Amino acid sequence: MPTSPPPGEPGLTDSCPPGSPELLYALFPPAVPAVDGDAHPPSRPRRRWRAPSVPILSALIAVVLFSGVVVAVDQIHSPGAVAAASPAGDPTVAPFEDLPVPPTTATTATTVPAAPAPRTRPVPPPANPTAPSPIVKIGEIRIPKIGLVHPIYEGVTLTVIDHGPGHWPGSALPGQLGNAVFAGHRVTHTHPFRNVDQLVPGDEIDFVMPDGTYTYRMTAQQIVSPSDTWIVNPTPNATVTLFACHPPGSATRRIVIRGEFVGRT
């Protein structure tokens, strides 16, 4: 029997030689001719948009939610959020550590004297300057400028002033609102006011009283006549008035030293 393959199957010796029309047709088939009346060749069908499936949507939503949770956690653990959310009593948190620290310099506080009630009212000058009077010490006067340190007493009669500066009864006491008036000698006995004419504005006048030390600052000096008793009149603020005979050794005039209250220590 013949063993050659049947006609038309692979292995035929009469296969199409290269370059023959049949081979070219197999490799590059001709395009489908356009139908009469059709101006354009047939186009590829358009793909319609299809909604993502439910699993894909669920995955997208989960990613978005997870991203929001991560951002929120980062905000919660930020330093500013921790400081704001921490309780005021938590010792581990210092919410004001970035604020400037005020200086720790020491300051000296002064106490404004309280207004007396009723208002001070000096008594009239003593009718008998030499009348006997009790000797009652009420404090001490100190004037550093002239080196004065001396007890002070209550009363302005000569029997009191002979012991030291005397407080005019009814006038303000040191530290009170009003005019604190004191009289003293310049040449006799202990002559505490001998050098008060050397005081200048700004010099300190201190009164050591049972409840504290009251400081005044000298403001003015005046020379008046013995009849000028207005120097003891009350004042609306805390002031001091020292007066004595002038010039030293004579009683024809009076020297008056004025001062204003500074503070209490």
pLDDT in tens, 141-191: 999 999 999 999 999 999 999 999 999 999 999 999 999 999 999 999 999
Report the C-alpha gap between 211 and 132 in whole angstroms. Answer: 29
- The DSSP H or E segment spanning 158 is helix 158-161
What is the predicted pLDDT for the residue at 120? 80
C-alpha closest to that of 135 among 121, 155, 150 = 155
What pLDDT was estimated at residue 58?
61
- What pLDDT, on the 0 to 100 scale, is given for residue 97? 39
Query: What pLDDT is recorded for position 221?
Result: 98
- How confident is the model at residue 208, as a pLDDT? 98
Report residues of the chain scoring pLDDT below 70: 1-119
- CA-based Rg of the chain, rounded to a whole angstrom? 57
pLDDT at 168: 97
All structural domains of the chain = 138-264 (2.40.260.10)
pLDDT at 25: 39
Output the pLDDT for position 45: 53
Half-sphere exposure of 98 (CA within 13 A, CB side): 4
Q: From the CB of residue 121, how many other CB atoms can be counted at a distance below 10 Å? A: 11
Count of other CB atoms within 10 angstroms of residue 254 = 19
Q: Count other Cβ atoms within 10 Å, centred on residue 263.
A: 18
Report the amino acid identity of residue 206.
D
What's the CA gap between 150 and 196, in Å, rounded?
Answer: 14
